[in-house]
Structure 1
Amino acid sequence: MSGHGFHVHGPHDHELEHAASGGHHGSEAEGKPGHASMTSKIAVCTAIIATVGAIFAYMGGATQANAGLYKNNAAIKKTEASNQWNYYQAKSTKQSLAEFARDTSTDDRRQAWQEKAARYEREKADIQGIAQKLESEAEDWDRKSDAQMHQHHRWAQATTVLQVSIALAAIALLTRKKWLERGMFGVAAAGLLVGLLAALHI
């Protein structure tokens, strides 16, 4: 205050007078510790959510990579199975030719052609078993790939929900709205739930 009675208000004085006048920031001076507590709480929670979100994002990337790898393995097995079926078809053709030769040959050659036809039949059975086994393995890899891709989608959903939670936290810090703070925690809980579903392969 000067010698002529002119009083210079400091920031704290202004807030006290504003609170006493019943302004819309009423009791803000008293509420500052509460605001600081709210800010600290949201900041800590945001850091935790961001950390969990980073873990979810990593798991999402890992499962997507696994899905691609498994799908590639399935494609390889399908190609091998196709090759075996082509081999099987070639043996079938040879068997048919041997049977035709057996049926049209003289008696002294008929037995030799019959033995060839029987050998082709045995070889076909072995090839068929290998082809069916490869097809079964391809289907197994496809199922694994689909399961990993489903899990990847879950991790991605969980990560997205947690990102929304972090955005709500930022808005809550700017506006100091309690309902936004509660919304942040609710959305974060939903994100953790989706992450749990991903971890349980649901």
Structure 2
Amino acid sequence: MSSGGFHVHGPHDHAIEHATHGHGEHPAESHGTEGHGSSTNKIAMFTAIVATVGAIFAYMGGATQANAGLMKNDAAIKKTEASNQWNYFQSKSTKQSLAELARDMTPSEQEKAKYQAKIDRYETEKNEIKKAAEGLEAEARAFDEKSEAQMHQHHRWAQATTALQVAIALAAIALLTRKKWLEWGMYGVAAIGLGVGTLALLHI
């Protein structure tokens, strides 16, 4: 089986094949190879379990990477909206400055009052626009932080998946060489993979 680049078809099938041959092809030698047959079955079962867990880890890694991309896209949208608001703010500031210049240059008190009313309106509008822009920037930062957290989790899932792939490779070599230290090695690497997967699950 395979999922997200997690290929375990060969070792698993190889393990099952060894288990079958160990019990069925040489009945006369079954007593002498009983320990090997048991070890082969154990490795085959280990491979199947690790392959299943690895497929889940690979799926979770892909899902978190996709989530990180979506959140980064949302952050970019919010940044664009905030930029538009700041441009709008600058436009209001320019109009306010022109109104202030016109107020200062006109000799008519009536005209001064008219321009002052415009200045006050622009000031109110600027404050509202500024508040909206700052809110959008805050949302963009929040999406960026969530995206980074998702990418960190993705890296954890990827590390866990890689460790389980190595464990399956060691299992295949252990079947071929019948080296006990390789069996212990596959268990150790699998334990590391499961540990890292637990860290990913806990968002650590």
Same fold (TM over 0.5): yes
Q: Aligned equivalents of 1:46 and 1:108: distance in 2? A: 89
Q: What TM-score do you get using the length of structure 2 for normalisation?
A: 0.85
Identity %: 70
Q: Which whole-Å deviations, capped at 9, do the CAs of 1:168-191 have from their partners, x for residues lacking one?
A: 000000011111001000000000
One of 184, 187, 191 as aligned partner of 1:185: 187
Alpha-carbon shift at residue 108 of structure 1 (Å): 2.0
* Structure-1 separation of matches of 2:27 and 2:68: 60
- Distance change (3 Å), C-alpha of 1:12 and 1:81: closer
Shift of 1:12: 8.4
Are 2:144 and 1:155 equivalent residues in the alignment? no
119, 122, 130: which is aligned to 1:120? 122
Take 1:61 and 1:110, find their aligned partners in 2: how far apart are those partners?
A: 64
Alpha-carbon distance in 1 for matches of 2:184, 2:35: 15
Counterpart of 1:77 in structure 2: which amino acid? K
Q: Which runs of 4+ in 1 moved over 4 A?
A: none
Q: What TM-score, normalized by structure 1, do the two folds share?
A: 0.86
* Residue aligning to 1:146: 148
Alignment of 1:9-88 (within 5 A): 30-88=31-89
1: CA distance, partners of 2:78 / 2:86: 12
For residues 88 and 27 of structure 2, the distance between their equivalents in structure 1, rounded to whole angstroms, comes to: 90
Q: 1:107 Cα shift?
A: 1.8
Aligned residues: 178
User: What CA distance in whole angstroms lies between the structure 2 residues aligned with 1:123 and 1:174?
Assistant: 77
Deviation at 1:158, TM superposition (A): 0.2
Task: Return the alpha-carbon distance in structure 2 between the equivalents of residues 201 and 12 of structure 1.
Answer: 52
Structure 1 vs Structure 2 CA RMSD = 1.4
Bigger Cα Rg: 1
Q: What amino acid is aligned across from residue 46 of structure 1 in structure 2?
A: T
Per the alignment, residue 98 of structure 1 pairs with 99
